């Protein structure tokens, strides 16, 4: 794929990096956008983190203001080696397997086992740089500055490149490489907190963050997790989205069941539960968020062939809604 040429970096307004910044978010679409003015990046399957660098010290913050520096101390120590007085990077921590594939489940296993040698921080945006606020500068100019900053950075800190080919071609290549999908971004747009149509995401497989509202145990093996009852919030209520019984290791089943028993409650947290899903169900306080991969939504709003990918400790249950694919806007000149 042909990489987009970086533009010249323009000057911004002088201001110190904040302790926290609300992230820019992507809207799910059913296909990548067409037309000029877009660049496309690989969509990573990990934890979104801001890296705030100041005087040789680094803080890693989640999108919900959680300080995860200690959780990823090894990465933070290496990021601190970049040659900059202060900066604010936007990126994602991922687990890269020996064969080059990335998966959220692999990241979860690496953290639980304390094996962090294959973790990488992929930076895709630079918002502050040596006292200069770059947020109002075009994306490609911010990324040109980011690429220059990371030229001699430690290997764990990677620059997330972008491509200027058609979104459909980039998505096809990403799916062939077993990536999660792509993020399409307006090349000349500033950084804008919140979700909108400047960043659009297209996925190779369907994936959804869901809230755990209950569980079942395996009938022939009491004390072993059978399946999770999952849901998402809509109009203030928790809507049942199906049961997930695959994707767990034996160790995860044991550890997960202990967490769930501590959250048990008598009544279901869901607005309604289909009769077939009530059998053997134990309901829990909706306090945990999990990442689930599946093939499609059924007409009655349930996941088909779901598979557990890991817990999302960086997401709040009340923020979990069903992502619905939108049609990208018609091509416009830019």
| Domain-located, residue 279 | yes
pLDDT in tens, 49-91: 999 998 889 999 999 899 999 999 999 999 999 989 899 999 9
Q: Is 326 one of the catalytic residues?
A: no
CA distance 104 to 4: 28
Residues 175 and 199 in one domain: yes
| Domain-located, residue 253 | yes
Q: Which residue has the tokens 């690989």?
A: 42
CATH of the domain at 276: 2.40.50.140
Q: What stretches of 34-85 adopt beta strand conformation (E)?
A: 38-43, 47-54, 57-61
Residues 215 and 162 in one domain: no
Rg (CA), the chain: 21
Domain closes at, from 204, 237, 262: 204
Domain closes at, from 173, 204, 235: 204
pLDDT band (50, 70, 90) for residue 15: low
Domain closes at, from 186, 204, 222: 204
| Domain-located, residue 328 | no
Number of domains in the chain: 2
Residues 49 and 190 in one domain: yes
Average pLDDT over residues 204-213: 93
Residues 36 and 130 in one domain: yes
Catalytic residue selected from 5, 43, 70, 235 = 43
Token pair recorded at residue 139:
């994306």
Residues 43 and 153 in one domain: yes
CATH of the domain at 124: 3.30.470.30
pLDDT band (50, 70, 90) for residue 109: confident
Residues 74 and 85 in one domain: yes
| Domain-located, residue 163 | yes
Per-residue pLDDT for 183 more than 80? Answer: yes
Burial class (CB in 10 A: 0-12, 13-18, 19+), 171: buried
Average pLDDT over residues 190-194: 96
Residues 286 and 187 in one domain: no
Average pLDDT over residues 237-246: 96
pLDDT of 3 reads: 45
Which range marks the domain in which residue 310 is found?
Answer: 207-319
Average pLDDT over residues 233-247: 96
Residues 100 and 199 in one domain: yes
Residues 180 and 268 in one domain: no
Phi, psi angle pair for 21, to nearest 5°:
-140, 135
pLDDT of 8 reads: 35
Residues 134 and 218 in one domain: no
| Domain-located, residue 333 | no
pLDDT of 331 reads: 46
Q: Percentage of the chain with pLDDT > 90? A: 66
């Amino acid at each position: 794929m042909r990489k987009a040429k970086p533009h010249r970096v323009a000057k911004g307004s002088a201001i110190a990096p904040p302790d926290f910044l609300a992230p820019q978010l992507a809207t799910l679409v059913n296909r990548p956008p067409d037309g000029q003015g877009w660049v496309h990046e690989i969509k990573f399957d990990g934890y979104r983190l801001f890296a705030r660098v100041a005087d040789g010290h680094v803080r890693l913050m989640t999108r919900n203001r959680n300080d995860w520096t200690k959780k990823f101390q090894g990465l933070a120590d290496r990021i601190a080696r970049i040659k900059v007085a202060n900066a604010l990077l936007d990126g994602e921590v991922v687990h890269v397997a020996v064969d080059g594939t990335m998966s959220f489940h692999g990241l979860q296993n690496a953290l639980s086992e304390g094996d962090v040698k294959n973790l990488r921080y992929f930076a895709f945006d630079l918002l502050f740089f040596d006292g200069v606020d770059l947020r109002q500068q075009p994306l490609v100019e911010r990324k040109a500055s980011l690429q220059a900053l990371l030229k001699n950075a430690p290997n764990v800190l990677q620059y997330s490149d972008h491509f200027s080919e058609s979104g459909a071609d980039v998505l096809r290549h990403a799916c062939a490489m077993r990536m999660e999908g792509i993020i399409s971004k307006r090349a000349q747009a500033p950084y804008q907190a919140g979700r909108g149509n400047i960043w659009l995401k297209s996925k190779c497989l369907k994936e959804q963050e869901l809230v755990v509202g209950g569980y079942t145990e395996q009938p022939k093996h009491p004390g072993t997790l059978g399946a999770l009852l999952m849901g998402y919030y809509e109009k203030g209520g928790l809507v049942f989205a199906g049961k997930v019984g695959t994707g767990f290791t034996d160790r995860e089943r044991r550890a997960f069941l202990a967490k769930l028993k501590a959250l048990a409650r008598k009544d279901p947290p869901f607005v309604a539960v289909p009769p077939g899903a009530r059998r053997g169900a134990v309901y829990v306080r909706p306090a945990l968020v999990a990442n689930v991969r599946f093939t499609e939504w059924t007409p009655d709003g349930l996941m088909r062939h779901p598979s557990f990918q890991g817990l999302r400790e960086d997401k709040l249950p009340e923020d979990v809604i069903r992502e619905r694919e939108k049609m990208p806007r018609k091509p416009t000149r830019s």
